[in-house]
Amino acid sequence: MKLRGKQVSPLLETNSRFSICVIGLGYIGLPTAAILASKGHNVAGMDVIPQVLDDIRKQGATPEEPGLAQLVLGELESGRFTLSDKPEAADVFIICLPTPILPNKKADMSYVEKGVRSILPLLQKGNMVILESTVPPRTTSDLVAGLVKEIGLDPENDVDLAFAPERVIPGDILLELSTLDRVIGGLTPKAASRAKELYSCFVTGEIVITDSTTAEFVKLVENSYRDVNIAFANELAQLSYDFGIDVRDAIQIANRHPRVNILQPGPGVGGHYIAVDPYFIIDGAPETARMLALARIVNTEMPGLVVKILSDMLGGLQGKNIAILGLAYKADVGDCRESPALEIMKILESGGAKCKVHDPYVKNAGFELYELAEAMEDADAVLVTTGHSDFKNINGAEMLEKAKGNSILDTRRVLDRDSWAKAGWDFRYLGDGRS
Ligand SMILES: NC(=O)c1ccc[n+]([C@@H]2O[C@H](COP(=O)([O-])OP(=O)(O)OC[C@H]3O[C@@H](n4cnc5c(N)ncnc54)[C@H](O)[C@@H]3O)[C@@H](O)[C@H]2O)c1
């Protein structure tokens, strides 16, 4: 099969055929279930929301995931993949349930706990239970093993408990599920190798096995590493105003050092993972995870800094109309979960400004979005919060005719400052402390 022009290795054949019950058919559970079915396993996919099951039956999957709808419908047709609203007896249970963050920044483990509880009446000696959800360290050894003990089974000897996290990116899930290297952690070495055997049927990347707590920690460390590195760049952007320099120049020059590779600053960190995963570590060891906590503080301060710069440019926010270009948390996608633009809007509106948001990628924001021309109409200022490639083609001179004011702050450096300034805009880039 070819995905995004890349050849995915020919389907692997495994000698062991398992019956598998996948609990939770969202972004992760559905492709995992379908891919396992395509390798010859009998897979029951289970979800508590009837609409989720209906949608899968009708259309397979969202068209945004290349190849997924076709794979799902094909496996349903073959009978190897079935759908259910209740867990079914199986050799292997795979838990793909949400682990959102609570307002107090603790992991909400209620979905995982409920999901594991729902399979307990079916659990038999010799079964495998694999957790794929992103979870705080020690969830497999404490929460999952603890629940297994409640029904009188020994979590180390009677069943095999493992943690097999995901690293995939929406939009490329099917490709990345099969090709990325994976870490799998077992409560026991036997559990880790049994889980590895199962995942080897479709993972062509390397599978590294370890204990379950290390694997849980690794999953969180990956996104925490990115959060800390972004925070470093964002702190440099903050410092640019103290020292009157352009942070972009400074970073570009510093990156000429062969062992320096500083990221670019921005208006904050968004998405459901980088902005969330560090809290799962911080919560478990708040006194030790100082750098992770500080990185979160620096990154969450950025929307406030953006609003302060804009407010200074405008001489206050009260009654000002702001055209916000970009709601998504990153360029060229429509995902606005935890997007800094949402926080920026909130702060602008609490300061008395009115925001009109334009984002050609976002379909449903939960509030009204505007076409570019409508957003610009009567705008006192423009704020660019996402680096969508389309924005590069916006004509500054044409926009100035529609707007009321001429202030613009580009937090992503996506627009060409010279041409906009030439057209008459008071143009600032975030992190240019010279302006
Ligand atoms: N989506 C990603 O790209 C991604 C990447 C890496 C890790 N993860 C992690 O994977 C886990 C799952 O994420 P997702 O994006 O697939 O979530 P999702 O919200 O897309 O899907 C979860 C599904 O579980 C169902 N569900 C809820 N409670 C249930 C229950 N008790 N029994 C059965 N079904 C139930 C929901 O109806 C939903 O369809 C999370 O921990 C997430 O952090 C996701």
Half-sphere exposure of 419 (CA within 13 A, CB side): 12
Other Cβ atoms within 10 Å of 31 Cβ, number: 26
38-60 per-position pLDDT tens digit: 999 999 999 999 999 999 999 99
Q: Does 268 share its domain with 334? A: yes
Residue 114 beta carbon below 6 angstroms from any ligand 1 atom: yes
Residue 309 counted as domain residue = yes
Residue 145 counted as domain residue = yes
Q: Distance of CA 358 to CAs 186, 188, 280, 326, 371, Å?
A: 47, 51, 33, 6, 6
| Beta strands at 160-163 and 182-186: parallel, antiparallel or unpaired | antiparallel
Residue 289 counted as domain residue = yes
Count of structural domains within the chain: 2
Residue 8 counted as domain residue = no
Prediction pTM value: 0.91
Which residue among 25, 68, 95, 97 has the greatest number of ligand 1 atoms within 8 angstroms of its CB, and so is best to mutate?
97
CA distance 341 to 331: 12
Residue 85 beta carbon below 6 angstroms from any ligand 1 atom: no
**Residue 435's pLDDT is what?**
79
Residue 373 beta carbon below 6 angstroms from any ligand 1 atom: no
Q: Which amino acid is at 214?
A: T
Q: Which residues of the chain have pLDDT under 50?
A: 3, 6-14
Q: Distance of CA 279 to CAs 25, 55, 106, 205, 211, Å?
A: 25, 33, 7, 29, 21
> CB–CB of 226/220 below 8 Å?
no
Supply the range of the domain harboring residue 269.
235-429
| Beta strands at 354-358 and 321-325: parallel, antiparallel or unpaired | parallel
Residue 9 counted as domain residue = no
Q: How far is the CA of 414 from the centre of ligand 1 (A)?
A: 33
CATH code: domain of residue 62? 3.40.50.720
Residue 23 beta carbon below 6 angstroms from any ligand 1 atom: yes
Domain closes at, from 205, 226, 253: 205
Domain closes at, from 160, 189, 205: 205
Q: Which atom of ligand 1 is the closest one to the Cα of 118? A: 31
**Residue 373's pLDDT is what?**
97
Half-sphere exposure of 157 (CA within 13 A, CB side): 3
Helices (H) and strands (E) in the chain, counts: 15, 15
Q: Distance of CA 364 to CAs 10, 33, 361, Å?
A: 37, 27, 9
Q: Return the H-helix or E-strand segment holding 131.
A: strand 128-131
Q: How far is the CA of 28 from the centre of ligand 1 (A)?
A: 6
Q: Does 190 share its domain with 239? A: no
**Residue 322's pLDDT is what?**
98
Residue 185 beta carbon below 6 angstroms from any ligand 1 atom: no
**Residue 8's pLDDT is what?**
43
**Residue 10's pLDDT is what?**
39
**Residue 15's pLDDT is what?**
54
Q: Does 50 share its domain with 132? A: yes
Which residue among 23, 96, 168 has the greatest number of ligand 1 atoms within 8 angstroms of its CB, and so is best to mutate?
96
Long-range contact list for 344-352, CB < 8 A, 24+ apart? 344/267, 344/268, 344/303, 344/306, 344/307, 344/383, 344/385, 347/303, 347/304, 347/307, 348/307, 348/310, 348/317, 348/322, 351/307, 351/311, 351/316, 351/317, 351/318, 352/317, 352/318, 352/319, 352/320
Q: Of 34, 94, 37, which Cα lies nearest the Cα of 65?
A: 34
Residue 33 beta carbon below 6 angstroms from any ligand 1 atom: no
Q: Which atom of ligand 1 is the closest one to the Cα of 114? A: 31
**Residue 13's pLDDT is what?**
43
Residue 322 beta carbon below 6 angstroms from any ligand 1 atom: no
Q: How far is the CA of 390 from the centre of ligand 1 (A)?
A: 31
Q: Does 256 share its domain with 356? A: yes
